[in-house]
């Protein structure tokens, strides 16, 4: 088999949890190398992998075809550009870049070099989102008129990942969790016509935004995206209302917790939520009122790397395109403008 020889820009948490296990499990990839600046840990689990000390060493490895840019947000543009110039295909973790202008430059460079860019939006394969997507696509609510998506946490303390909490490009909750929420909204409903944003600091110790709320404006639909770090009691992550009914669903995907316990993504019941996390459907079907819990779809991050392999080896569509990532960042750009000017900002077609 002509395996895709792959390199990781970092073997930190994301490398250990979200990339290496799926690269290793697929069979169509070979994890060749990773960058570890200080701690040298990758050989404990992957003995044959080269541990480089610098990004430049990784980029210079001629055996590597695909590089995963899984470093802090402020490095995404520079490292992606280096990798493309080195002739590599790239997967860039969300957010793709810090501005739409940076995204455009990388997209143009990839086209010039005939290289591929995909953005790692793994939350498309969360069990909860796959369930809400099925509910919307099967029109179990009729036409959706109001949708609210939350990604909340409770933490009075600053993250140990200081790059997320220190003022600078790509810092704050909006760049951290906002891309997940925006991407999910775009997957369900397409590009909105306008955006309004409220971004602020609620924790006394915070130096960057730790609360976000966006309203996306469509013709006959309003989508609200919210995230904060001071939400101790969980509330439904998805609250959708349509012309026929409503659907409420928790954020119940178990994959991240499983990965933290080093559970293999190859096990038979991978990505299956507990039954108690099932969402509540209250709607009208064939003229009859239905109010019941419905089965949750299986979560499966493996699907991203399966589809990526099909794209690189067989010319299939990418699981997430650079344009997908660019659309998210374009909305982030306009949301910052909205928050600064305290007004609704119109979006142009992109």
The CATH number fitting domain 123-299+331-346, selected from 3.30.360.10, 3.50.50.60, 3.30.700.30, 1.20.58.220: 3.30.360.10
Q: Above 80 in pLDDT, residue 1?
A: no
Separation CA 166–CA 319 (nearest Å): 32
Do 120 and 92 form a contact (C-beta atoms < 8 A)?
yes
Query: What band does 165 get if pLDDT is binned at 50, 70 and 90?
Result: confident
Do 94 and 121 form a contact (C-beta atoms < 8 A)?
yes
| Angle formed at CA 196 by CA 195 and CA 198, multiple of 5 degrees | 140
Look at residue 350 in the predicted model and tell me its pLDDT.
61
Query: What kind of architecture, by CATH, is found in domain 4-120?
Result: 3-Layer(aba) Sandwich (3.40)
Separation CA 344–CA 195 (nearest Å): 6
The CA-atom distances, in angstroms, between 228 and each of 171, 178, 195 are: 14, 10, 19
**Long-range contacts, 36-45 (Cβ 8 Å, 24+):** 36/10, 36/11, 41/11, 42/11, 42/15, 45/16, 45/20
Separation CA 227–CA 233 (nearest Å): 13
Give Cα 345 distance to the centre of its chain: 24
The domain ranges of the chain are 4-120, 123-299+331-346
Query: What band does 163 get if pLDDT is binned at 50, 70 and 90?
Result: confident
Look at residue 4 in the predicted model and tell me its pLDDT.
98
Look at residue 156 in the predicted model and tell me its pLDDT.
86
Query: What band does 58 get if pLDDT is binned at 50, 70 and 90?
Result: very high
Query: What band does 167 get if pLDDT is binned at 50, 70 and 90?
Result: confident
215 forms beta bridges with 196, 224
Q: Above 70 in pLDDT, residue 214?
A: yes
* pLDDT, average across residues 200-212: 94
Separation CA 160–CA 164 (nearest Å): 9
* pLDDT, average across residues 72-93: 98
Strands (E), the chain: 4-8, 29-35, 50-52, 66-69, 89-93, 117-120, 144-150, 194-200, 211-218, 221-228, 238-242, 246-249, 279-285, 288-294, 345-346
**Residue 5 buriedness (CB in 10 A; 0-12 / 13-18 / 19+):** middle
Do 225 and 213 form a contact (C-beta atoms < 8 A)?
yes
**For 139-155, how does the pLDDT look when each residue is reduced to its tens digit (9 = 90+)?**
999 999 999 999 998 98
- Compute φ and ψ for 216, nearest 5 degrees: -100, 130
């Amino acid at each position: 088999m002509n395996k895709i020889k792959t390199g990781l820009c970092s073997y930190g948490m994301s490398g250990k949890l979200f990339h290496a296990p799926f690269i290793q499990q697929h069979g169509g990839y070979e994890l060749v190398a990773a960058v570890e600046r200080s701690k040298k840990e990758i050989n404990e689990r992957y003995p044959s992998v080269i541990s480089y000390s610098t990004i430049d060493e990784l980029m210079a490895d001629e055996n590597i075809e695909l590089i995963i840019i899984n470093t802090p947000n402020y490095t995404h543009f520079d490292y992606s550009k280096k990798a493309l110039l080195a002739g590599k295909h790239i997967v860039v973790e969300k957010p793709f870049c810090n501005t739409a202008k940076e995204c455009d430059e990388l997209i143009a460079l990839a086209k010039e070099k005939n290289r591929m860019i995909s953005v790692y939006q793994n939350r498309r394969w969360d069990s909860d989102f796959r369930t809400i997507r099925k509910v919307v696509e099967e029109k179990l609510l009729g036409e959706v008129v109001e949708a609210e998506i939350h990604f909340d946490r409770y933490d009075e303390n600053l993250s140990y990942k200081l790059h997320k909490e220190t003022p600078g490009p790509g810092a704050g909750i909006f760049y951290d969790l906002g891309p997940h929420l925006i991407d999910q909204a775009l997957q369900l409903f397409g590009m909105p016509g306008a955006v309004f944003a409220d971004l602020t600091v609620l924790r006394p110790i915070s130096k960057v935004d730790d609360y976000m709320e966006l309203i996306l404006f469509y013709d006959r639909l309003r989508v609200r995206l919210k995230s904060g770090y001071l939400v101790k009691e969980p509330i439904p992550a998805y609250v959708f209302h349509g012309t026929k009914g409503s659907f409420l669903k928790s954020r119940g995907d178990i994959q991240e917790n499983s990965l933290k316990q080093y559970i293999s993504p190859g096990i038979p019941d991978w990505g299956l939520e507990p039954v108690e996390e099932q969402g509540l459907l209250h709607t009208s079907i064939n003229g009859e009122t239905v109010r019941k819990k419905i089965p949750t779809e299986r979560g499966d991050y493996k699907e991203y790397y399966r589809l990526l392999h099909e794209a690189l080896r067989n010319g299939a569509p990418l699981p997430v395109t650079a344009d997908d990532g660019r659309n998210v960042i374009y909305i982030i750009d306009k949301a910052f403008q909205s928050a600064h000017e305290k007004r609704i900002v119109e979006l142009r077609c992109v």
